[in-house]
C-alpha cells in the first residue's frame, strides 16, 4: 500500500485567520495564547504579553482535516507548540510531526518564501499538499522544478482561513493521486 500524501499545516492564516477584521467569525472561538516565538518579541511585563496573542480557531477544522486522505504535519513557526496549544482546540491529536526550521524568517537568494526549501527537504520526495498564507507562484514553480513527487501549494487567505472550497481542493488533489482502478496496474477479476 502506498503511503498517504502529506498535508503540511501552517497555523497563522489557514487555521487562525488573523487578518480578519471580524472578531466574531462564524464558528470560530477566540483564545489567548503565549507562544514562545511571539513572547520572545515582547517585554515580559508588557500589556500584550500579559494578555497573550489573540488566536481564532474553528473547532471543526481538526475533524475535517483528519477526514482527508493525508498524513498531517505542522509547517508553522509555532513548531511543537502547535501540538500543545492549537491541536486541542481544533480536535487534532497532540503528537503530529513538526517541521523544525533550521532558521526562521531567512531571506532566500531566489526570492522564495523562507519555508519553501526546508519544507521540500523535509517532505523528502513524498507527495504533499501545503496550506499557508504566504505561498507565491514562485514557490509553486520552484516546487514543480525541484520536487520529484506531486505537490499542491495552496495559498490560504489570512482574512478567511480554511474554507469549504479549500477542503474540496485538498480532497480532489489527493483523489487525483490515487491509481486509476481500471488503469494498467489494475488486476482483472476475469480471464
Task: Dump pLDDT digits (tens) for 62-84.
Answer: 999 999 999 999 999 999 999 99
- Residue 96 is part of which domain span? 6-20+57-177
Residue 180's pLDDT band (boundaries 50, 70, 90)?
A: low
pLDDT exceeds cutoff 70 at 182: no
Is residue 186's pLDDT more than 50? no
Asked, for residue 31, whether it belongs to a domain, the answer is no
Query: What CATH number is attached to the domain comprising 156?
Result: 3.40.50
Q: What whole-number distance in Å separates Cα of residue 26 and Cα of residue 87?
A: 19
Residue 68 domain flag: yes
- The mean pLDDT value of the chain amounts to 90
Is 127 contained in some domain?
yes
Residue 188 lies inside a defined structural domain of this protein: no
Burial class (CB within 10 angstroms; exposed 0-12, middle 13-18, buried 19+) of 181: exposed
pLDDT in tens, 126-156: 999 999 999 999 999 999 999 999 999 999 9
> Is 1 inside any structural domain?
no
Q: How many domains does the chain contain in total?
A: 1
Amino acid at each position: 500500500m502506498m503511503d498517504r500524501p502529506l498535508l503540511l499545516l501552517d497555523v497563522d492564516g489557514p487555521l487562525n485567520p488573523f487578518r480578519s477584521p471580524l472578531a466574531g467569525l462564524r464558528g470560530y472561538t477566540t483564545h489567548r495564547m503565549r507562544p514562545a516565538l511571539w513572547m520572545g518579541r515582547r517585554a515580559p511585563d508588557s500589556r500584550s504579553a500579559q494578555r497573550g496573542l489573540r488566536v481564532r480557531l474553528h473547532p471543526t477544522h481538526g475533524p475535517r482535516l483528519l477526514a482527508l486522505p493525508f498524513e498531517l504535519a505542522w509547517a508553522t513557526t509555532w513548531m511543537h507548540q502547535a501540538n500543545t496549544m492549537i491541536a486541542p482546540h481544533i480536535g487534532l491529536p497532540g503528537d503530529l510531526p513538526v517541521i523544525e526550521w533550521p532558521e526562521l524568517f531567512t531571506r532566500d537568494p531566489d526570492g522564495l518564501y523562507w519555508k519553501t526549501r526546508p519544507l521540500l527537504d523535509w517532505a523528502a520526495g513524498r507527495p504533499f499538499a501545503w496550506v499557508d498564507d504566504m505561498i507565491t507562484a514562485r514557490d509553486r514553480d520552484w516546487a514543480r522544478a525541484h520536487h520529484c513527487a506531486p505537490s499542491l501549494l495552496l495559498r490560504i487567505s489570512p482574512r478567511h482561513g480554511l474554507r469549504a472550497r479549500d477542503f474540496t481542493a485538498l480532497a480532489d488533489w489527493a483523489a487525483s493521486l490515487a491509481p486509476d482502478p481500471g488503469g494498467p496496474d489494475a488486476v482483472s477479476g476475469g480471464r
